[in-house]
A and B are shown apart, each in its own frame.
Chain A
Amino acid sequence: MRLLPVSYAVRNLGRSIPRLALSVLGSGLVVLLVLGAGGFVRGMTESLRRAGDGGNVLIMGIGSEESIERSEIPASTASLLQATVPGLRSEGGAAFVSPEVHVQLPIVAGNGSREGRLILVRGVTPAALLVHEQVQIVEGDWPRSGHDEILVGRLANTKLGVPQDALAVGQSVRIDGRDWHISGVLAAPKSLIDAEIWMPLNDLKEATKRETDSCVVATLGEGPEAAELADIQTFCRRRLDLEITSMSESAYYSRLAAFFAPIRVVVWVTAVLIAAGGVLGGLNTMYAAFASRVREIGMLRCLGFRRSAVIVSLVQESCLASATGTLIACAIGVFFLDGLAVQFSMGAFGLRIDAPALLFALSIGLCLGLLGALPPAYRCLKLPIPESLKAV
């Protein structure tokens, strides 16, 4: 099959600049939307996945497997675990066992703000930095116990709806009428922890008037002597008095991810519905573009170009327009959407515009080019040549 030159398709794009702009804009918006939806889903999934470490085990109250925040366990659990289960990870005498309190508290931040917003506050000891290896203090210092100091996550401002500088080191936030000074900023890239507030365990217990912990996070050791999840499960079963249970941290966050699956489905369905509207708009534009060239298409067939050759040329034209829109959308996605903070009930996460999301968006752009061209091309080419040549 002899094809029409690609330059024919390229130059046809310039026939109507408003139409070209519409095609590029339409495909770009659809791809941007898909990229946003993909980035949202991947960001949420990844932040939940990264919040959990495969080598960590959570010990929490029986019946609280769905939410650590509802869990209450005796404060002695961490030391009992450490003493009873050998083979937990330790380095330089420091055991990787972190007793923690997780609680959603209304926080008032920023000047002039009066209403508090709920955010996850985690009461921790320095051992938390051992078990949560993805966490780093990127600015300032670890909060001193008894000094009303806290660490804030980099995305906490998103959750609280305040500018980043309202949560800078040296600033303070108000919790239940009491000021807490920000001693440092923590980062846990692409993890839910990035939107949390951490404070010394005892300070949080004192502020919330509780004596129990929410959970203990323990890291399993390595090598033949290392403890396994089963050992901790045995410990939990034997200590009936503590009323505790255990599961791997990654399993806990996987269950959370599954809990949020309907949200991801709704995001995709919304994106698909809007994209379908975009495709219909694109079809309309292409119908108009091709319909104005029916006589020319008839002439090309009259010269001896086959239907398939004309279709390839029309598809090239449509794909070029949609590819331009797609590339612009991908550039916007990479430079402006990637990492954009989004808050949800569990905290906040950054949109994740990574290679799979871009690949998906590019394939959608290609599909738009194809879908946008084939029905209008078929409509133009189904006319017999003499009819095409009579077209106005």
Chain B
Amino acid sequence: MTPTLIECRGLARTYRRGPELITPLDQLDLDVDRGDFLALMGPSGSGKTTLLNLIAGIDRPTGGTLTIGGVEISGLSNGALADWRSAEIGYIFQLYNLVPVLTAYENVELPLLLHKLSRRERHERVATALALVGVADRSSHYPRQLSGGQEQRVAIARAIVTDPAIIVADEPTGDLDRAAAAAVMELLVRLNREMSKTILMVTHDPGCAAHANRTLHLEKGRLVESGLAAAH
């Protein structure tokens, strides 16, 4: 099996805002290997989140090709892309995006409802995911009853519960205090090292980026610097 999981070739994304043509991503070439932990850095508007969204399959490129696990995802229909996302991608948001009317358990169970699993199988997976992120004792709590760090842990459990190949995280520590941020980063590193999850993370914090294997710097939609993190 090829070690390259994600192949971007001449990847571009443009959109129109009134009369102006915006190009957040321009002719980007990038390979990401299986099990890689990649940090995306750059100033606001440099195209980090756009690249993340394209790889997560929630946006479509306007140029180039994007092949993930041998699948050219820009050619998939909306329905097929939704199915692909549910199987291959776990998304961690800066603001957690937990459903406030569902408990931690039910939030984590949500992505599993898209898969053919029995109630018992779902229960086992949810329990495992919650235990893995250390909030098993909060499973019956609603998001409003959790701290920010706990909410993000539940969100991470939701992202990994389907056992996706890729985890994308958009500033996962952006809304957390230092201690909670450190705990979340530690969790992501564990997921990468112990479960071989391929992680792409957008961050503004060099300290967080230092946990990644590789850091990419984007500016005006182009890759300006790529290198291994000092820690690794």
Inter-subunit contact B97/A296 (CB<8 Å): yes
Within the complex, what minimum Cβ distance (angstroms) separates A86 from chain B? 80
Instruction: Write out the residue numbers on chain B whose beta carbons fall within 8 Å of the beta carbon of A3.
Output: 113
Known: A301-B82, A304-B82, A386-B59. A296 touches B114 (CB 8 A): no
Collect the chain B residues with CB atoms within 8 Å of residue A137's CB: none
- Tell me the complex Cα distance, A307–B82, Å: 10
* CB-based contact B59/A384 at 8 Å: yes
Supposing A303-B110, A306-B82 touch, asked if A296 and B59 sit within 8 A by C-beta, the answer is: no
A11, A303, A306, A389: the one contacting B111 at CB < 8 Å is A303
Q: Enumerate chain B residues within 8 angstroms of A5, measured Cβ to Cβ.
A: 113
Stretch with Cβ within 8 A of A (4 or more), from B99-107, B187-195, B204-212: B99-107
Contact B53 A386, beta carbon cutoff 8 Å: yes
Q: How far is it, in angstroms, between the C-alpha of A303 and the C-alpha of B97 when the chains are bound?
A: 11
From 1 to 50 in chain A, residues with beta carbon under 8 angstroms from any chain B beta carbon are: 2-5, 7-8, 11-12, 14-15
B225 within 8 A of A: no
Q: Is A304 in contact with B86, judged by CB distance below 8 angstroms?
A: yes
Choice from B58, B82, B93 contacting A305 with Cβ under 8 Å: B82
How far does the alpha carbon of A389 sit from the alpha carbon of B111 in the complex, in Å?
17
A299 within 8 A of B: yes
Q: Is A190 an interface residue (CB 8 A)?
A: no
Do A303 and B58 contact each other (CB < 8 Å), given the known contacts A14-B101, A295-B97, A386-B53? Answer: no
Contacts A4-B113, A296-B97, A385-B58 hold; do A302 and B102 have CB atoms under 8 A apart? no
Mask of B155-166 contacts with A, CB within 8 angstroms, 1/0: 000100000000
> Residues of B contacting A2 with CB < 8 Å?
113-114
B58 to chain A: which residues have CB within 8 Å? 301-302, 384-386, 389
**Please, which residues of chain B bring their CB within 8 A of the CB of A295?**
95, 97
B83 at the interface (CB under 8 A from A): yes
Query: Is B19 interfacial (CB 8 A cutoff)?
Result: no
Contact size range, B: 20 to 34
A307 CB contacts on chain B under 8 angstroms: 78
Docked CA distance A300–B114 (Å):
11
For residue A53, give the distance in angstroms from its CB to the closest CB of chain B: 60
B91 near A8 with CB under 8 A, answer no
Choice from A15, A300, A305 contacting B101 with Cβ under 8 Å: A15
Please measure, in the bound complex, the distance between the C-alpha atom of A299 and the C-alpha atom of B96, giving whole angstroms.
10
The interface residues of chain A lying within 8 Å CB-to-CB of B202 are: none
Decide: B100 and A15 in contact? CB cutoff 8 A.
yes
Residues 16-44 of chain B, each 1 if its beta carbon lies under 8 Å from chain A, else 0: 00000000000000000000000000000
> Cβ of B114 and Cβ of A304 under 8 Å apart?
yes
* Among A12, A303, A386, contact of B85 (Cβ-Cβ < 8 Å): A303
- Determine whether the beta carbon of B59 is less than 8 Å from that of A303: no
**Chain B positions within 8 Å of A386 at CB level:** 49-50, 53, 58-59
* Alpha-carbon distance A306/B93, docked complex (angstroms): 19
B6 within 8 A of A: no
**Contact of A304 with B83 in the complex, beta carbons under 8 Å:** yes
Give the shortest distance, in Å, between B221 (CB) and chain A (any CB).
15
B82 & A299 in contact (Cβ 8 Å cutoff): no
B5 at the interface (CB under 8 A from A): no
Q: How far is the CA of A305 from the CA of B81 in the complex (A)?
A: 11
Instruction: Given A303-B86, A304-B82, A386-B59, decide whether A8 and B93 contact each other with a Cβ distance below 8 A.
Output: no
CB-contacts of A340-392 with B (<8 A)? 384-386, 389
- The answer to whether B56 has its CB under 8 Å from any CB of chain A is yes
Cβ-defined contact, A302 with B85, below 8 A: yes
Once the chains are docked, how many angstroms separate the CA of A300 from the CA of B101? 14
In the assembled complex, B79 has its CB within 8 A of some CB on chain A:
yes
CB-based contact B101/A302 at 8 Å? no
Residues of B near A306 (CB, < 8 A) are: 78-79, 82
A215 to B56, CA, bound (A): 86
Residues of A near B111 (CB, < 8 A) are 303-304
**B99 with A305: CB separation less than 8 A:** no
| Measured CA separation A302–B56 after assembly (Å) | 8
**Residue of B58, B82, B97 with most partner-chain A CB within 10 A:** B82
In Å, the complex CA distance between A14 and B99 comes to 13
- Contact between chains at B100 and A302 (CB < 8 Å): no
A279 to B97, CA, bound (A): 31
Q: Digitize B172-193: 1 where CB-to-A-CB distance is under 8 Å, 0 elsewhere.
A: 0000000000000000000000
Least Cβ–Cβ distance between A378 and chain B, in angstroms: 15
B 105-141 contacts with A by CB, 8 A: 106, 110-111, 113-114
A222 to chain B, nearest CB (A): 68
CA distance A301 to B60 in the complex (A): 14
Minimal beta-carbon separation of A127 from chain B (angstroms)? 71
Residues from 235 to 266 in A contacting B, C-beta threshold 8 Å = none
Which of B58, B59, B78, B79 has the most C-beta atoms of chain A within 10 angstroms of its own C-beta? B58
A sample of 7 cross-chain residue pairs with beta-carbon separation below 8 angstroms, ordered by A number, consists of A4-B113, A15-B100, A295-B97, A296-B99, A304-B111, A306-B79, A386-B58
Additional A-B contact list (5), CB under 8 Å, known A306-B79, A385-B53, A385-B58: A11-B101, A299-B91, A301-B58, A303-B158, A386-B50
Could you list which residues of chain B lie within 8 angstroms of chain A, going by C-beta atoms?
Answer: 49-50, 53, 56, 58-59, 78-79, 82-83, 85-87, 91, 93, 95, 97, 99-102, 106, 110-111, 113-114, 158
- Listed in ascending order, the chain A residues whose CB lies under 8 Å from chain B are 2-5, 7-8, 11-12, 14-15, 295-296, 299-307, 384-386, 389
